[in-house]
Chain A
């Protein structure tokens, strides 16, 4: 793969409701910030990929609403529906094709405008499953139970993730939900869908973010610290929950295997300095760490309990506070990439971890992490 760099990033603050702003307004804010971060004018953006979801926005082709705000006027532009990590992957491909020197990728989400359970219910099959009322939380509860029972993972081990990530959020001004919690408090929070409790869940959020990718030639012309894309891969498992072993992370393993191979990483546990992954629920952090190869299958609980994943641990995971501390869906994946880029640059402010040379970002699409996207970023080309 030819070298491509992240040269600019922009995030809005994640909040429960940004009432004064339509989602186009949020996109403009994020796009402006990314341009300013890169020291670029909109005219230097060669093409644009917007990321959105018509269901969340309550609007067919909702990307139409952001065409002014993302600066795509008189440019080649397209729209990915799905997590921001996937949209960014398409933005990357457009540079690798040789047709464009720079791509702006922007993504928005306003969880405050819709009723989340109805939207995520629509992920499920209309004939066989939807009538059950199954949606993101209940399906994840099924996965959590399958995973925890198989490997003897405890609710306390999951609660540790909530304590850690909400605490990390205090150092992230963009985060929505910094909380000082104890394991006991998480354990005492009410069950939403056993084994998932209130404090195991991400919040509903509004937000937008944007990144600018550039070819090596274009990146060198900018006065920025480029963050190089070392590897990117994505992979989907089966759709029907009954067709999958929900305790299994094979699609993530496959995506990670490919991404690491591109990056020339043999042993991720030794080579990766920081991870930002999609922790919509606490159990996911444990499962995804296994899938990403940072511990053996079933060892995620022990890894969480070891303290290694703390912001000052051996392998900081979600030093930003993760999705548990702010989850504008779709945006959340791109925010994982942005957090990794800031860490590699050394620009992560109070949440900066020392010596981050290689970072891994991760996003998901579909129910129970059916489809995973893995990015490996580094400071060296």
Chain B
């Protein structure tokens, strides 16, 4: 079928702005992590009693050891870039339903004292100016609500 004819004959139904609202639980340790971000601009992780790995953000179970975790430990707000990209394609942000502004830099970040990584923005949109291993530091929003977006981005300490 030709495009024009197709458009004339075939009906599609737009779901519009319909959405399914949810209220997810962060859990005990997730709540502590977000509270620390919000109230104290600090990061906490959780240490596995068996393998010693420090999970950031904290989770309840170490998958490989299959034991429950409970020992919260402080983690630095500085770290280094494990890998990075600069996003330049437009897409609809499911949280807002709006087109997300591009470009922006983002990276997998290893905070000092953590064994797992965080995903977050970096304040640089030229990939040539970012490198694996570059040092970064968290920059916080003035108004904080207890969300990962309380971190504005990670600032590149070396360019």
Contact = CB atoms under 8 A, between A and B. Distances in A.
Nearest to B30: A22
A362 interface: no
Contact of B13 (A22, A25, A28, A126): A126
Given A22-B26, A22-B27, A28 B62 contact: no
A113 B23 contact: yes
Contacts of B61: 24, 28, 68-69
Nearest to B18: A118
Interface stretch (A13-21, A187-195, A222-230, A274-282): A13-21
Contacts of A19: 25
Contacts of B23: 112-114
Nearest to A20: B28
Interface string A53-76: 001001000000001110111100
Interface in B1-45: 13, 15, 20-28, 30
B20 A110 contact: no
Contacts of B13: 126-127
The B interface, classified by DSSP as helix, strand, loop or mixed, is loop
Given A42-B66, A73-B66, A119-B20, A113 B25 contact: yes
Nearest to B19: A118
A73 B22 contact: no
A19 B26 CA distance: 8
A270 interface: no
A68 B25 contact: no
B25 A20 contact: yes
Contacts, number: 63
A365 B15 CA distance: 25
The A interface, classified by DSSP as helix, strand, loop or mixed, is loop
A26 B46 CA distance: 19
B63 A110 contact: no
B66 A22 contact: no
Interface residues of A, number: 29
A67 B20 contact: no
B68 interface: yes
Contact of B25 (A18, A69, A122): A18
A110 B25 contact: yes
B60 interface: yes
A25 B60 contact: yes
Given A28-B68, A119-B20, A21 B62 contact: no
Contact of A113 (B22, B60, B63): B22
Nearest to A31: B66
Interface in A2-44: 18-25, 28, 42
Contacts of A221: none
B47 interface: no
A118 B20 contact: yes
A19 B28 CA distance: 9
Given A71-B66, A126-B13, A58 B24 contact: yes
A73 B20 contact: no
A110 B62 CA distance: 22
A69 B61 CA distance: 6
B147 to A, nearest CB: 16
Residue picked from B15, B24, B30, B64, most chain A C-beta under 10 Å: B24
Contacts of B110: none
Interface in A89-117: 110, 112-115
Given A28-B61, A68-B62, A126-B15, A20 B20 contact: no
Contacts of A127: 13
Interface string B125-145: 000000000000000000000
B28 A58 contact: no
Given A20-B28, A28-B68, A73-B66, A68 B20 contact: no
A39 B60 CA distance: 22
A67 B63 CA distance: 7
Given A25-B60, A58-B20, A114-B20, 11 more contacts: A22-B60, A23-B25, A71-B66, A73-B64, A74-B64, A110-B25, A112-B23, A114-B21, A118-B20, A118-B21, A126-B15
Interface of B: 13, 15, 20-28, 30, 59-64, 66, 68
10 contacts: A20-B28, A21-B28, A24-B27, A25-B60, A28-B61, A69-B63, A115-B20, A115-B21, A122-B20, A126-B15
Interface of A: 18-25, 28, 42, 55, 58, 67-69, 71-74, 110, 112-115, 118-119, 122, 126-127
**Top 7 A-B pairs, shortest CB-CB distance:** A68-B63, A58-B22, A22-B27, A73-B63, A42-B66, A71-B66, A68-B61
